[in-house]
Structure 1
């Protein structure tokens, strides 16, 4: 720092001296150069006059003696002057002899026949006299450019001398400034640097009485004042460091609490700018806290943009707002969430904290608990109802069968009784046929058998099976069931199962599970039938029906997902989908026991889990998890 200060001071003062001196001397040089340029014509005339006079004297003797070679030598010697561009000697010898010399392109003297002077070139003519005889005349032509060049060279030499003088002046100024100003300033700068490092015991040894001395005295006063201030400041700093440490510890503690919460916590101000972004929010959105803070909520977390109106209302009313079971797209899946808005209106800060809790698993567990309780209660009721219905149903089917037999030809007893009544069995059978009695009996029989099948399903639903459990590869059972669905008459007639595109996503090397093969196939068949119906009923279908079947290992279980791209279902339907006798099909198209029996087979018979995910217009996914080792 001291070097920079001293260098700056020396440079400024040196430049000032140099600029002033150089300006004066350069101005004087330019003035002299201009004066010489103005005198150049007179100088050229004087030079011509002198040359002409001297040459006329030098030539009179050789010309008088007719010494031609000597005359030429004198002329050539004069042409060595670069300022002479032409020299003409005319003789009065009766032959009008002339010696005309000028310069060639290489600036060498050359004899020519004629010569015409150029612009700016000056010439002079003088007679050549020998005593009283006029022998001829000499003409000299000179150019001013060499005189001008000489003036320029003189001006450049002056500038060089000015430069040398500037160097000498700079050296003297620098030496003066160094001894008189720079060294004391360096000493004060060094002292101030040491003082800035906290070394306040520095001695300031500047005894001059000028401005530097006043500055040194001011430094001494400042040093003593700083000593006192530093003591007070150190005490204050210690207190602040302690307070800041406690504040930082508290801030980190609160941040750790916020980041450790499994909920998404987003702080926003009254304008929708994000002020807080916890670790769970980073995990779900993939946006770091440093990138989210200060940005608009709708840009970073567009799924929550609708909440800003509720944030404003919550801050205005100072009331907590909560929305339950809100479907949100978190990551790649749509999840059910509770969204709670806590207003912040203290210390003049307006805003809110938005808390998002993923309750999808909790809702599933609650629904499974409710469903299990329904299954337990309905199971006992179904068993009792089945036994109560089975007895009169058996009597109805038996008597209907007897009625049908007694209206047909073939039994001797029928013929005997008909004759006793004065008729024949052929007449009775013809009458029954024409009146539709036989078809009515057949319809009653078919309806009774259907009722018996329902009772059988109810009994199967209400009791645990005692079937044959074996180690089976679940993917093999899936493939067999797909083949079975492809050849099922109802599926081919109504839903054309073979036209459905099936995507298989099986994890490699899946372990075998301990299960009852026929029942597990019954579960898969029910799911395939429901998926086929859902995809056929999709009136807004924009693509080919597609069924995705996934199988993977997960926490001691093998889980299978059956996903379709059908119409999906609303929340109310999804909650009741496993209830007995609940169906969305047309009357007579289903009993409403398929999924409830499937649920019973998976959860009760095999100790597994069964759940469903669905949203209207987004298809349905059934999920079945069966334990690898079944101790149920």
Structure 2
């Protein structure tokens, strides 16, 4: 709504209010004065008629009364007239017959006559203090209402005319007053559209002229400010472009992969190293893409292995949960954090992340695969060397013990042979002596001696005891021989070795580990030709596998499974390789354990019962020292199977390297 229209409407409203007050007050005054005059006329007419008919009523001159009543209703506005005797009888009446038939009720105000538009009034006919009758008179209020209606229409007409005149003059005044404002409005619109510095013509000396002057000053100041702002913005843009160019060049040329992510998890920039690291050349330069699509769908072309933390202890993550877990990890990271993950191509990526003020993130990724490989090689060498040192120490100790046991075993064996021969000779002597005494009928001497020394029992049990002692001594001799062969320090180098003999020695050495929890069976192909291997290291691997199998069976029995334990060692061959398989029916291993059993220091045994190095060293011995392979297959509740594969053409290299 324009200012001009507001001015016209405001003046019109003021005029309407004032005219309304004037019309209402004027009509009120006109109504009250006319009603008072009508009431006064009615009372005066009734009193006058009562005075004129007094003598006639006293004299009961009905003709005079009737004449006076008839003359009374001839007056304008009188609808009926009636004279009653003091006793209530009607002496004379004239006027509207329908009105005369109704009961007479005197009205006090004009409002009481609204029903029939007749104002009813009465006056007594009195002489002295004696009432001889009553005059009843009715005046019509129709003329009064018509007069008031005509006056209202006339006054409303005048008011409407005045309002139209006020609107016309108000419009003219508003146009005059708003002409300067319109010019000021047009000038403000031009400045708002960007025409800084525009000035308008000044007219007059009033407040609007002062406002126009202030506007011109403001417009000129805005022009100067815009010019300065454009200069500063131009210089700032130049500096920003230069800084962005330097930053972009730096990001593109640093060897680390840089990923910049905005607050809604969209990748807004990746540098050249990131494209090369994750093979992301298909993504257009400058294209914003969702984080999960860049880091997971695109990187999945290379493949994500389960996440590992910075201490190199990997966590197994299923294929379907890998993306979800990685997203949750990134969402839960603090302001600054670092983590690692491994790709399917064995590369290990170290990530450093920091959050931006707008909620975004900057991730710097470094390929640390070479560092991990060198560290892992160094650890394996240390573990292997440690294992060798322990094995050599154990071999030296075992060889010394075996050597010390060998001497007493030899003279015990020699003495046992002598005792066996002496026992046989004494038994023959006693038999011949007994036969001689019987021949000479000296049974009375033999019977008490036989009973006293229980000769029959000794003669029956002594050969068996000597046989069992000889068998036990042979077993001790075999164990000592196995220990000497298994742990002799002179066998640290690769040499032509009978693998079946290595298996038998490992079984003998570990007898005390498995004999009380399981039955051990061997299925050996005697046609396997000797191979050039390190018999000590290979024996160490078999001992580790047998001990682990016995522990797994014992664990299953401790859990209440009554199934008999069974360990099976199989040796077989094909054209290119020789295989040794160790199978048990122990507890088996879940997937997450099976994937980590060859990790250094990883163990599922209680603290103090395992170091986590046995299988790690065993794998290094088979894979690195003998160019073979050590594989495992296991299912929870079904047992475990380890397969040692030794290539025939790789053992020569093992011999050369060992030498």
Higher radius of gyration, 1 or 2: 2
TM-score by length of 2: 0.44
